[in-house]
Structure 1
Amino acid sequence: MTRKQLIFLCLKFNDVYEDYPFNKRQSDILWTTIRHKENKKIFALIFERESQLYINVKCEPQYIEEIRELKKDVFPGFHMNKSHWNTVRVNGDVSKEELAQMIKHSYSLTSIRSGRRCLAEKL
């Protein structure tokens, strides 16, 4: 999956938009954030580091460690609250379907109409 495809996948959700709030001239990492229009909350942060594509997604704290143990390409959130966010290496051991579920879950957790569901059961 390419960066462009990943952004497109995130933009399929209702009432969201792409943003670049953290990018400065001296920054060596290009951050793409995907936010809710209703509350401006970020539910996905996409970046590349050392030629690898990553995405930060929110997760419920009670499932975060379990997911990290199940998947070697899921780490504590890079530049995020590590109790609530995971970083996923795209094109690693997390399938496209699992990644789509993680993004959907993050979208739900950050929405005003938050409908929390157990993500760990789906992996």
Structure 2
Amino acid sequence: MNIEHVRDYTLSLNGVTEDQPFGDDNITFRVEGKIFLCLWLGTGNYNVDNDSLRFACKLTPERNEELRELYKNITPAFHWNKKHWSDVYFEQMEPDFVMGIIRESYGVIVGKMKKKTPATTQ
């Protein structure tokens, strides 16, 4: 999966917007203003280990631990809360798996929004 596939797939999810609040080397993806994924564009200050492209995504703490134990290409996020965010080196992983992680991260945010919506009364 390449960087354009990640971007296109993420933008295909319902209600997703993108912006660059942290500079030209990252794109953040949001739902209702809440960031769920930050895609590093391969430039700037975030090239800490190597040239492998990655995105940071928000998952539950338990899921982050599980994925980090199972996959060497999923690590604690470089510049995010390491309990809630993981870096995914997507070029080194199967596209279906990467899309599943993106959907899961999206679902974490959407799930929280649904819980905050007051129940309607009839």
TM range (shorter): 0.7 to 0.9
Q: CA RMSD in A?
A: 1.5
Q: Gaps spanning 5+ residues in structure 1: where? A: 25-29, 115-123
- How high is the TM-score relative to the length of structure 1? 0.79
Distance across 1 between alignment mates of 2:114 and 2:78: 26
Distance across 1 between alignment mates of 2:64 and 2:35: 18
1:41 corresponds to 2:48: no
Residue 113 of structure 1: aligned partner: 114
Residue identity (%): 32
Larger radius of gyration: 2
* Length, aligned pairs only: 106
Q: Secondary structure at the match of 1:22?
A: coil
Distance across 1 between alignment mates of 2:63 and 2:90: 20
Q: Deviation per CA, 1:56-96, whole angstroms, max 9, x where unpaired?
A: 1111112221210110100001211100111011211x321
Task: Kindly state the Cα deviation for residue 100 of structure 1 after the two structures are TM-superposed.
Answer: 0.8
Distance across 1 between alignment mates of 2:101 and 2:74: 11
Task: Kindly state the Cα deviation for residue 2 of structure 1 after the two structures are TM-superposed.
Answer: 2.4
Query: Is 44-53 or 80-89 further displaced after alignment?
Result: 44-53
Letter in 1 for 2:97: E
- How high is the TM-score relative to the length of structure 2? 0.80
